[in-house]
Amino acid sequence: MTMSSLRASLAGAFRRLMIAAAFLAVIWPAQAEITASDADAETHDTAIESRNKAIVGDAFEKWREGTYVFAALLAPDVVWTIHGSGPVAGTYRSQDDFVERASRPLTSRLASPVVPEVRSIYAVGDTVLIRFDGSATTTSDAPYRNQFLWMFRMKDGLVIEAEAFLDLVAYQQVVENNEPRAQ
């Protein structure tokens, strides 16, 4: 096994582990005894969960069809954290900051938009998890493929906090190995 194939194998295993850990942390809460007031709150949460899940699902369907949805989905002051290590990892403190410093470095080097393929959407309380694959073509005509887990905390139909898990090596390879499109 070569060093690069070992690195790729470890990166894939780490990515799957991070996705599983994030999923379990949100989806598998400690079980507690349900009282009458808890049942009322649970009914309310179910309505919020359904609404938020539908908002995110609809946005991803529009994105898949080619519509830019993030201006309408993200609160202007969204706090977006990209987990991992590399130049793009970190916390962005507004929609504009996220777009300029995290999204645009990648998207400017793509000849086609990222097309999301949703694998699953879960909602718990005000949190929505969406696992999806994304694919595009780079400006050098190479394929870009990545797997994502995004966790959104929502308020009034907008994402106010986001956490993203993805293969940052694949992201960085696109940024480093492709010229930006002419604006």
Q: pLDDT tens, 61-97?
A: 999 999 999 999 999 999 999 999 999 999 999 999 9
What pTM was computed for the model?
A: 0.77
pLDDT, tens only, 103-143: 999 999 999 999 999 999 999 999 999 999 999 999 999 99
pLDDT exceeding 90 applies to what percent of the chain? 74
Neighbours of 68 (CB within 10 A): 10
- Domain spans of the chain, in order of start: 3-27+37-177
pLDDT confidence of residue 152? 98
pLDDT confidence of residue 92? 98
Confidence tier at 33 by pLDDT (50, 70, 90) = very low
Reference 159, options 109, 92, 90, 66; nearest CA is: 92
CATH class, range 3-27+37-177: alpha beta
**At residue 43, does pLDDT exceed 80?**
no
Do residues 158 and 70 lie in contact, with contact meaning Cβ atoms separated by under 8 Å?
Answer: no
**CA pair distance 56, 183, nearest whole angstrom:** 30
Task: Count CA within 13 A, CB hemisphere, residue 107.
Answer: 12
